[in-house]
Amino acid sequence: MSKYHPLSEAEAIEIARSFAEVFPTGEELVSREIGDGNLNLVFHITQPATGRSLIVKQALPYVKIIGDSWPLSLDRARIEGEALIKQGELAPGLVPVVYRSDADMALTIMEDLSDHVIMRKGLIEGGVYPDFAEHLAEFLSRTLFFTSDLGMNQQDKKVQLGRFINPDLCKITEDFVLNFPYYDAESNNIEPYLRDAAEAVWRDEELLLEAAKLREKFLTHAQALLHGDLHTGSIFVTPASTKVIDPEFAYYGPMGFDIGAIVANLLLNYAGQEHWSPNEADRRDRRAYLLSTITELWTRFERKFRALWDAHGVDKRFDLPGYQDDYMKRLLQDTIGFAGAKALRRVYGLAQVADIATIPDREARERAQRLALAIARNLIVSNRSASSIEDVVRIAETAAGS
């Protein structure tokens, strides 16, 4: 019989106490459940006498923000633990240290990163992260290249793909990102004043066609091991450090989905700037910072990915002149398309983002939502004709009227 049950705070403390490498002395431990995401319990265990701490994360067998009517496999905790270990090998220092993962109890016990801030919160508060683009380009280029048919043994890749079959979590994305926003689905969370904009999406045949093509790619294109949910709530930052967390959606999918996710979330913050930067000059600077972060991220990613390919490519058939250029162009186009899809679902879908949803003034929030929608639409409809990351900058600036 399964020993799984959701932990109490007292049980989380007992588990943490067994980690002598973190808590070598016997002073009191304190637990606080800090899970503010949509799916899991997260216990922050501290030892006030020594200042030592760790995180005990436990998957729940259902979608927390919906309830037990939407069951969810606990196997995602195994997938998260294995993905974190793989990402830690490929991109050292850019993910938290995993102390232990326990598939039976759906636990991942890991390094506490409370000296960092969740990037979404940091961006809302006006934080600047000068090393972020470099760090994330390093993370993405190495994790995507070395888990793909370009950079690893192609038979081993098929075996790995089997370990990361993640149907329940993929279904969340297939539904909440790539299906529900495109019709009047029950779970959409449409503010009445925004209904006309949602209805315009549902009638927009050009948009629906491109969104369907992106959905097909997500369903079928097993290109590399993705993080699978790489929004700014899945990244801890300081000005000098970046740590990617929460890869429970990891699966073999299209690389552009990961890169597009982070681009989308920087653009959602961009869309909220009328509120977060009320002074016009500050807003211009802030938006320029966000767009230059997107440009830097792609430019650095592309440079690193091509260098890895030149040095470690495993498939001679792909050495043909022009092949790499064509591959990178398609990857940029996927990035742009998925960025649009990831942004659109956050405007009136079930799970929204604080960058926009917490804007208290209704009219300012509506302007941010309409701006995010305009950007998202244009990214989606233009993805297959895009040729440069500058296309994203132009779309954002044009929509914002700057």
Contact residues for Mg ion (CB under 5 A)? 37, 246
What Å distances lie between residue 62 and 39, 40, 102, 150, CA to CA?
Answer: 7, 9, 18, 36
Calculate ∠ Cα 268-271-273, nearest 5°: 115
CB of 260 to Mg ion, least distance (A): 16
Binding partner of residue 172 among ligand SR1, Mg ion, none, CB under 5 to 8 Å per kind?
Answer: ligand SR1
Among 176, 180, 182, 305, binds ligand SR1 (CB under 6 A): 176
Binding flag, residue 351, ligand SR1 (CB under 6 A): yes
Write out the binding residues for ligand SR1, residues 30-59 only, by CB under 6 A.
Answer: 37-38
Among residues 37 and 272, whose Cβ is nearest to Mg ion? 37
Write out the binding residues for ligand SR1, residues 197-236 only, by CB under 6 A.
Answer: 229
Binding partner of residue 140 among Mg ion, ligand SR1, none, CB under 5 to 8 Å per kind?
Answer: none
CB of 6 to ligand SR1, least distance (A): 18
Q: Burial level of 45, CB count in 10 A (0-12/13-18/19+)?
A: buried
- Among 19-27, 168-176, 276-284, 354-362, the segment contacting ligand SR1 (CB under 6 A): 168-176
User: Under DSSP, is residue 246 helix (H, G, I), strand (E, B) or coil?
Assistant: coil
Among residues 166 and 173, whose Cβ is nearest to ligand SR1? 173
- Among 14-22, 170-178, 188-196, 364-372, the segment contacting ligand SR1 (CB under 6 A): 170-178
Run of H or E residues at 79: helix 75-90
Position with the least CB separation from ligand SR1:
38
What would the two tokens of residue 132 be?
A: 């972020």
Dihedral angle of Cα 366, 371, 376, 379, to the nearest 10 degrees: 170
CB of 165 to ligand SR1, least distance (A): 18
Helices (H), 222-322: 255-271, 273-276, 280-312
Among residues 37 and 254, whose Cβ is nearest to Mg ion? 37
> Which residues have a Cβ under 8 Å from the Cβ of 301 and sit 6 or more positions away?
136, 137, 140, 141, 259
How far does CA 52 lie from the centroid of its chain? Answer: 28
Among residues 79 and 399, whose Cβ is nearest to ligand SR1? 79
Among residues 246 and 391, whose Cβ is nearest to Mg ion? 246
- Among 101-109, 172-180, 267-275, 295-303, the segment contacting ligand SR1 (CB under 6 A): 172-180
Contact 137, 304 (CB under 8 A): yes
Tell me the number of residues near ligand SR1 by CB under 6 A: 10
Contact 287, 402 (CB under 8 A): yes
CB of 229 to Mg ion, least distance (A): 5
CB of 258 to ligand SR1, least distance (A): 12
Among residues 65 and 200, whose Cβ is nearest to ligand SR1? 65
What would the two tokens of residue 71 be?
A: 């069951």
Residue type, 284: R
Give the Cα separation of 268 and 351 in Å (integer).
Answer: 13
19-28 long-range contacts, CB within 8 A, separation 24+: 19/54, 19/99, 19/100, 19/109, 21/99, 22/52, 22/53, 22/54, 22/99, 23/47, 23/50, 23/52, 23/54, 25/49, 25/50
Among 16, 118, 136, 172, binds ligand SR1 (CB under 6 A): 172
Position with the least CB separation from Mg ion:
246
Among residues 13 and 42, whose Cβ is nearest to Mg ion? 42
What Å distances lie between residue 339 and 57, 85, 331, 378, CA to CA?
Answer: 28, 26, 12, 10
Among 12, 63, 178, 235, binds ligand SR1 (CB under 6 A): 63
Among residues 172 and 336, whose Cβ is nearest to ligand SR1? 172
Among residues 136 and 373, whose Cβ is nearest to Mg ion? 136
> Which residues have a Cβ under 8 Å from the Cβ of 294 and sit 6 or more positions away?
263, 266, 267, 389, 392, 393
Over the window 116 to 155, marking each residue x when it contacts ligand SR1 by CB under 6 A and - when it does not, the resulting string is ----------------------------------------
Give the Cα separation of 79 and 103 in Å (integer).
Answer: 9
Among residues 80 and 229, whose Cβ is nearest to ligand SR1? 229
The residue ranges that bind ligand SR1 (CB under 6 A) are 37-38, 63, 65, 172-173, 176, 229, 350-351
